[in-house]
Structure 1
Amino acid sequence: MTVFDGFRDQARTRSRMRSGVLAVLLASAVGIAAVPVPVSAQGYRFSNVTIEGNQRIEPRTILGHARIGRGDAMSAADLNDAYQRLVNTGLFESVSLTPRGGTLVITVKEYPTINVVNFEGNKRLKAEDLTKLIESRSRKVYSPSVAEADAATIAEAYSVAGRMAARVEPRIIRRSDNRVDLVFEIAEGKVVEVERLSFVGNRAFTDRRLRQVLQTKQAGLLRQLISSDTYVAERIDVDKQLLKDFYQSRGYIDFQVMDATSEMARERDGFFVTFTVREGLQYSFGNTRVVSEIDGVNAEDYAPLLRLRPGAIYTPSDVETVIARMESLASRKGINFLRVEPRIKRNDAERRLDIDFALVRGERIFVERIDIEGNTTTMDQVIRRQFRTVEGDPLNAREVREAAERIRALGFFETASVEAVEGTSAESVIVKATVAEKPTGSLSFGASYGKSDGVGLTVGLSESNFLGRGQYVAVDLNIGANDASSSFTFSEPAVLGRDLKFTFSGIYTQSEANYSTWDSRFAQVGLALEFPISQNSRLETRYTLNKSRIFNVEQTTAPLSSPILAREAARGSLVGSAVGYMYSWDNRRGGLSGETTNVFRFSQDLYGLGGDLKFLKSELFAGTQTKILNGDVTLRAQFEAGALATSGGNGTRVSERYFLDGKLRGFEPFGLGPRDTTAGKNDPLGGNYFAVARFEADFPLGLPEEYGIRGGVFMDIGSVWGLNDTVGATGTVDDKLRLRSSVGLSLLWDTPLGPLRFNFSRAIKKQTYDKVQNFDLTISTKF
């Protein structure tokens, strides 16, 4: 195919042309390699340039890459450069430049088109996930360099998954019409696990305690089911920071990770990771005071906010809390650009830190704007509302850090960072939030087992970032041997862009007699608004509407049910309409702080705003938890109580009363409290009041940490009592306050399926009609 004609030789004789053509032919025979022929002083012009072998690529495109112009003088070096430019385009499998008289023939062989991309040998990583990682695509031009880069990317993905021995080879299968199938042959290899995590230089904390801090875990019994024991090199840097945070939060201000080494086992199936640390000395708080360096700002106004007890172990989080309180007070007073600088003076002899909290005037820097990048699903407003500052506000570096923490706490992103960069002027900055999205929805299928419910099946669908709006939606269905339940929840965490949480929920349950002696149906819908009232406390206001019924209370065929239940069942389906509130206080901040944590909740619901039920339901929960012996032992104490204060003549029914199921160990479900022992079925009746205190401790058993098995001891004491109707089968039912108590041992096992708790109990104080239970298996929960 002729591209252009008419070029005339104006500067050479025929003999010189022959010698130049001979030199170029020799260079072409070896791929335009350097040929020791003295032609550098010779120049050429071609009358024609012909392109051969091209199918998809236009001749003008090839000439454009070769940069051969009409009538240009050329040498053998120029032709070599043109050849290299064509090869470097990555479009051609082979290229040759051949002078034929006054014509230069450029012969190319185009790379084939990819027909399909397949993966062979992959089991651990899905093909659709691998497809997202590579550049090679169907209907794109095949490139060996791109295919090799894709193979390296796939191997890196396997390395992150712990399969560092994975090998990936790209192969092509040629098809007709210059097409190929690209196949990545994958040998996954075995998972490279962390066989041992050890520490050098630690004296204050045992290896066992420090392993609990790290994100990386040792391989254990369930090594085939978990991934945290897989060796990932990038995770080591995270572990270093976790160790530093752990030690500094416990007063070791000079702590350093000197080295972290990873040695592969001889069998190349595991790593031995060793952290070398220097702990330093533990420091406590000394004298603290507030000093003001701003005219008109009185330090005495801020002194009550210190709340740092001399002698208490130093923790950076406590210092940050004091700074936050003081800067918040300054903001409420209308004082802008006030900054609190903690000036620490070391007293090495007494290992104490004296701190002056200096009130200083900060730089006059304003927030020009807030930019958000990387969010492909989540709306900007969801991220923006995590900032307590807006455009035009004075810059507060601490608030920028806290905004980053709040964004990460959403759970919507793989990574999230916030930084302040220079703005358009010296007095302004641009706050930039950069995030990387991650999946936020889940579909779960599971099975459960309960002593009272038997085997059950569970299906759940949830989305914590619905439509990118930060809304939570969940649907659950549970089917057991004797009951079934379904629920729906929708939550909007920021009504009108404020810290005001709205929740709509619905639930339907149906249960048949198992430990109880009646069947029941219950349906409820509820609305709630929740908002903060202080740094650690929140208030929820709510309205609930429900309908319930108890039935199948036997009164015709022996054994008969209690006449108390019969009278309650005769009331039929009843509607409950209630307004209520819940106050909660929680000092947990989600960090590594070893401080004691406290939780308090108090709620009341008033039934009688329409409907058939009329009573006031009040409930209280208080819990405290602390760690001792360098965090190896956890002590926990909890107290719960509830009361149903009735009005009107009907009182409560068994479906509204308390039974202490699971709240007082050592007794069967429906196993304690008022009971009609003279009725044929020995019916449990529950009570209008309950109170229970639980004390427990959990501790290591000396087993390898990777097994996730700990021991525990507990003691529970409490009771349920009080009935409106006490006339039973042959007399009055005992509904008085009679304490029960139990003690026991626990085995706690952190499994990939969830934290399980095996309780071995013994009731030491009970009534003759109570039903005890010496063993139960539950999901381990914290308050």
Structure 2
Amino acid sequence: MKPARKLLSAVSAAALAVTPAVGGAIAVSVGAVSVANAAVVQSISVRGNTRVASSTISEFVGFRAGKDYSAADLDEAVKRLFATGLFSDVHVTTSGPTLVVTVSELSIVNQVVFRGNRKLKDERLRAVVELQPRGAFDQTTLDADVQAIVDSYSRIGRNDVSVTAETVDLGENRVNVVFQIQEGDRSKISQINFIGNNAYGDRRLQSVISTKRSNPLSWLTRNDVYDEQRLAADEEQLRRFYFNHGYADFRVLSSSADVDPNSGNIVITIEVDEGEKYRFGNVEIDSTVSGIDADDLRRTVETRSGATYSGEDVEDTLIAMSERLAAEGFPFAEVTPVGNRNFETRTIDVSYVVDQGQRAFIERIEIVGNARTRDYVIRREFDLAEGDAFNQILLRRAQKRLEALDFFENVSISTRPGSAPDRVIIVVNAVDKPTGEFGIGAGYTTGSSTNSGPTFEASITERNFLGRGQALKIGAGGSADSRSYSVSFTEPYFLGYRLAATVAAFRRTQDYLGYDVATTGGSVGFGLPITQKLTGNIAYSYSQDDYDITDPTNAPQAIQDEITANGNTWTKSAINYGLTYNSIDDVQDPREGVYLRFNQEVAGLGGDARHIASTFDGRYYQTLSEEAELVGSLRVGGGTITGLGQDVRTVDHFRLGPRQIRGFAYNGIGPTQGAGGAGAGEQIGGKNYLHASAEAQFPLPAFPQDLGLKGAVFADAATLYGHDSAQAVNTSMEWRASAGVSLIWQSPFAPLRFDYAVPIKKEPTDEEQRFNFTVSTAF
């Protein structure tokens, strides 16, 4: 950044002299010379330059032999020389037919040195200062660099940092620039207060914003650092939260960050005006554009009369209508929601007015802020491209998609005028954030079999692999009797279409009573978004099971019979397809919404397996009390498998575990081998299952909300029944039940939960697993 200079000129004749003032500022003075309004110059004399060539200075002056140089010409010459940023002093005069240019060159920076910095490394500080080696030195730029360093430390919570700068003269017009830094202590956010909130408590609102109070783990997340931009973004988050929960008149009256004089920490206070809670009244569509069928657009309306007012539902309606209009040949049609409040009934009538908008086209899309994510990963989330009709609503759709990727700290989309009145430039600012995840799970199995002992699983996931928007997941798990390994790779835009393609491979080994199984397989699958909340999927999978009878006296007779008939190696070739509906508000910490998944597997495209298996999983979340932050959830699921022209293989039967009913081990319930045969009491899976769970989550009052700790109580029930083997027993529909407590932690690493469940209804052959440690949510 170069210093601003005001240049003065004489009216009749003048010589312009510029000399450095105190502190490096530039002072400009005018001295009279005995020249008339203009003088004819035949030559130029350049003085005082050591690095910049005289010919270069002549070019900047605009010297031409025989030209009449007036006072205005001299002014312009001085301006051009200062604009180069190479000189601290410029003096231009005429002496007879000679134009005399005297310059003092700015010093050249030899080195930029940082001392005393430990929290911010040299590389990061070099990126924020403008003075660089081999560049020109300027005092004003030096002052600006000091402030830039102070601002950088403020962003990491060190507001009492002290930065001084000095120069070391090396001779020959070269200097070293040295920044002395005293980092000071970190200023923490000790308190976040809300004023004026009645519908929602402080803890609930604190969970909405990204700024958090300091806690023992804040050094990992750094979300306890005050940042003015983050606080402004938090205000917007509060508005969206209230608007989506019926409070259409909500306002943030003020927000402040004050320093506690005793501790030096920061206290944030946010004052709000919630207003009244509204519901949707009448919903209408009013079109002024001929050819548009209002009844056809009605199918895109997300707002329903009588439902709680939601700004997000209005926004989704605008997006859906705009897409429908563009598809029907109205790219410039503009949809505007008009609301009419009824204060007595506390309802809002909404009319969607369709008008012919202004014709404007997208000149280009500029992307900034992304240091890791490739530009094309961001561009493909737009339904608009250069040359398309400009549509503000579709821009909002693109922003929501980019936010849903969860690749960025924040996403903002703005516009500016293009090269013509009907041209618009779109600017996307997307700042990357870490996208790696580490998940772990553990438990301990007890029971009557030899499979008792600890279990463990872990996975590493990168959701934005190499900045390409691809997902890579590697997992491993095991116990005393089993091992599992898996890897999967997902390309979300296969062949350039919004079609997610996943390739996966796995290897599992399991030691059962009397026999071992090693399974190796893989799959190729595709996921296609049908609507914003509904997704379809189809996949092909192939696997091979290798059996080894280690103890014929204990191995289940059903397994031995199948090996006798089909050999030790079995294969399965299958097609899987299904639908998923997801309206969950937050996958990591769900409070409202529905999740439904139906899947079907048809085996028989070659291989030894011949069956059709259907499964269903449904979950419902609802906030039971905003004041107490009590969230309830219900989950139900089931499945059935039927052989196609043959019995279902024992290995293909369903097996349940802690994911369906806590308190029991994986493959710990269901039909067993008959008491009179080998492997008596060993679970061998079942053809049908049902399960249900009810849970209530609540905050732990003894811990700060910012730690992310919650408790839960739950009750589970499940049954697994039916089997095609004649030796199977316990095949009737016997229900198991359990109840327990959970500790849920939204940790900086991954959402984790610790479950302790006690079986309250079980069968003698069941395997217990009372303690379980897993990733909190898995959809």
Change (3 A) 1:212 1:92: same
1:735 aligns with 2:736: no
DSSP 3-state at the match of 1:129: helix
Say if 2:533 is the partner of 1:562. no
Q: TM-score, normalised by structure 1?
A: 0.79
1:528 partner SS: strand
Instruction: Please list, as runs of the form range in 1=range in 2, the aligned pairs for 1:307-346 lying within 5 A after superposition.
Output: 310-323=305-318, 341-346=336-341
Check conservation: 1:708, 1:750, Cα contact below 8 A.
yes
1:191-590 equivalences in 2 (<5 Å) = 191-267=186-262, 269-290=264-285, 310-323=305-318, 341-353=336-348, 355=349, 357=351, 362-363=355-356, 365-369=358-362, 371-374=364-367, 378-379=374-375, 383=379, 386-387=382-383, 391=387, 396-411=391-406, 414-419=410-415, 421=417, 424=420, 429-436=422-429, 438-439=431-432, 449-451=442-444, 454=455, 463-464=464-465, 470=469, 472-476=470-474, 478=476, 483-495=483-495, 497-499=496-498, 501-511=499-509, 513=511, 519-551=516-548, 553-555=550-552, 560-567=554-561, 571-588=567-584
What is the rounded CA distance, in whole Å, between the counterparts of 2:304 and 2:75 in structure 1?
A: 80
- Provide, for residues 749-779 of structure 1, a one-character-per-residue CA deviation record: whole Å limited to 9, x for no partner: 2221222222222211111221223332222
The offset of 1:274, in angstroms, is 0.8
Could you tell which deviates more after superposition, 178-187 or 657-666?
178-187
Task: Please say if residues 658 and 688 of structure 1, whose CA atoms lie closer than 8 Å, have aligned partners that are also in contact.
Answer: no
Give me the whole-angstrom Cα distance separating, in 2, the residues matched to 1:530 and 1:66: 65
CA contact (8 A) 1:174 1:180 kept: yes
**Cross-structure match for 1:706:** 706
**Alpha-carbon offset, residue 85 of structure 1:** 10
Structure 1 CA distance for aligned equivalents of residues 747 and 739 of structure 2: 25
* Map of 1:675 onto structure 2: 672
The answer on whether the counterparts of 1:576 and 1:607 sit within 8 Å (CA) in structure 2 is yes
Shift of 1:146: 3.8
- Contact kept, 8 Å, 1:260 with 1:273, in 2: the verdict is yes
Encode CA deviations 1:516-546: one digit per residue, 9 max, x unaligned. Answer: 8754433323222332444532221221122
Gaps of 5+ in 1: 1-23
Instruction: Give the structure with the larger strand fraction.
Output: 2
What residue is the counterpart of 1:684 in the other structure? 683
Instruction: Check 1:58–1:707 CA distance in 2 against 1; reply closer, same or farther (3 A cut).
Output: same
Percent sequence identity over aligned pairs: 26
Q: Deviations over 1:641-677 (max 9, x none)?
A: 1222223556323366423342201112332222348
Separation (CA, whole Å) in 2 of partners of 1:200 and 1:646: 64
Deviation, structure 1 residue 577:
1.1
| C-alpha distance in 1 between matches for 2:664 and 2:284 | 54
Task: Give 1:164 shift.
Answer: 1.9
In the alignment, which residue of structure 1 is the partner of 2:601?
605
Q: Deviations over 1:219-278 (max 9, x none)?
A: 223232221221111112112122222222222222211111211111564211111112
1:710 offset after TM fit, Å?
Answer: 1.7
CA distance in 2, matches of 1:103, 1:370: 47
Higher RCO structure, 1 or 2 (CA under 8 Å, sep 6+): 2
Task: Map Cα deviations across residues 40-78 of structure 1 (whole Å, 9 max, x no partner).
Answer: 6779999997856x653335556778999999999xxx9
Q: Which amino acid aligns with 2:768?
A: V
Q: Secondary structure of the residue that 2:396 maps to in structure 1?
A: helix
Aligned twin of 2:5: none
The one-letter amino acid paired with 2:595 is: V
1:542-600 CA-to-partner distances (Å, cap 9, x unmatched) read 211222324464337xxx44344445567323222112211122234779999952222
Q: 2: CA distance between counterparts of 1:460 and 1:387?
A: 28
- Compute the TM-score of the two structures, normalised by the length of structure 2: 0.79
Per-residue CA deviations over 1:709-739 (Å, capped at 9, x if unaligned) read 2221111111222222252xxxx53222210
From 640, 643, 657, give the equivalent of 1:643.
Answer: 640
Moved more, 653-662 or 522-531: 653-662
The structure with more radius of gyration:
1
Q: Tell me the SS of whatever aligns to 2:220.
A: coil
RMSD (CA atoms): 4.9
Q: Secondary structure at the match of 1:547?
A: strand
CA shift, 1:169, in A, is 3.7
Relative distance call for 1:722 and 1:781 in structure 2 (3 A) is same
Distance 1:324 1:175, change over 3 A: closer
The structural deviation recorded for 1:603 is: 1.1
The residue number in structure 2 matching 1:781 is 777
The CA deviation string for residues 289-342 of structure 1, in whole angstroms up to 9 with x for no partner, is 455666776766666776755543222233344555666666676677665554
Give yes or no for contact 1:516–1:684 (8 Å, CA) kept in 2.
Answer: no
Query: What is the distance in 2 between the residues matched to 1:326 and 1:242?
Result: 25
How many residue pairs are counted as aligned between the two chains?
733
Distance 1:68 1:326 in 2: 63
Residue 716 of structure 2 aligns to a residue in which SS?
A: strand
Question: Is the deviation greater in 218-227 or in 317-326?
Answer: 317-326
In the alignment, the residues of structure 2 paired with residue 106 and residue 291 of structure 1 have an alpha-carbon distance, to the nearest angstrom, of 73
> Do 2:362 and 2:426's aligned partners in 1 also have CA atoms closer than 8 Å?
no
1:694 alignment counterpart: 693
| Aligned equivalent of 1:771 | 767
Picking from 652, 658, 662, the partner of 2:659 is 662
Moved more, 694-703 or 654-663: 654-663
CA apart distance, 1:388: 6.1
**Given residue 135 of structure 1, which amino acid in structure 2 is its aligned partner?**
E
- SS state of the match for residue 163, structure 1? coil
Which of residues 51, 56, 62 is equivalent to 1:56? 51
Aligned to 1:261, the other structure's residue is in SS state strand
* Structure 1 residues 720 and 64: CA distance shift in structure 2, 3 A: same
Q: Distance in 1 between matches of 2:570 and 2:284?
A: 62
Inter-CA distance 194–110: structure 2 relative to 1 (3 Å threshold):
closer
**8 A Cα contact 1:761 1:775, kept in partner:** yes
**Equivalent residue for 1:753?**
749
**Secondary structure, in 3 states, of the residue corresponding to 2:130?**
coil
Aligned to 1:155, the other structure's residue is in SS state helix
Task: Give the Cα separation in 2 of the matches to 1:521 and 1:421.
Answer: 64
| Aligned-partner residue type, residue 597 of structure 2 | R
Q: Which one of 608, 624, 633 corresponds to residue 620 of structure 2? A: 624
Q: 2:769 aligns to what SS in structure 1?
A: coil
Which residue does 2:128 correspond to in 1? 133
Work out whether residues 651 and 724 of structure 1, in 8 Å CA contact, stay in contact via their aligned partners in 2: yes
Work out whether residues 465 and 471 of structure 2, in 8 Å CA contact, stay in contact via their aligned partners in 1: yes
Cα distance per residue 1:342-389 (max 9 Å; x no partner)? 443332222222x2535x551254453452112686355862562168
Question: Following the alignment from structure 1 to structure 2, what is the Cα–Cα distance between the partners of residues 636 and 649?
Answer: 40
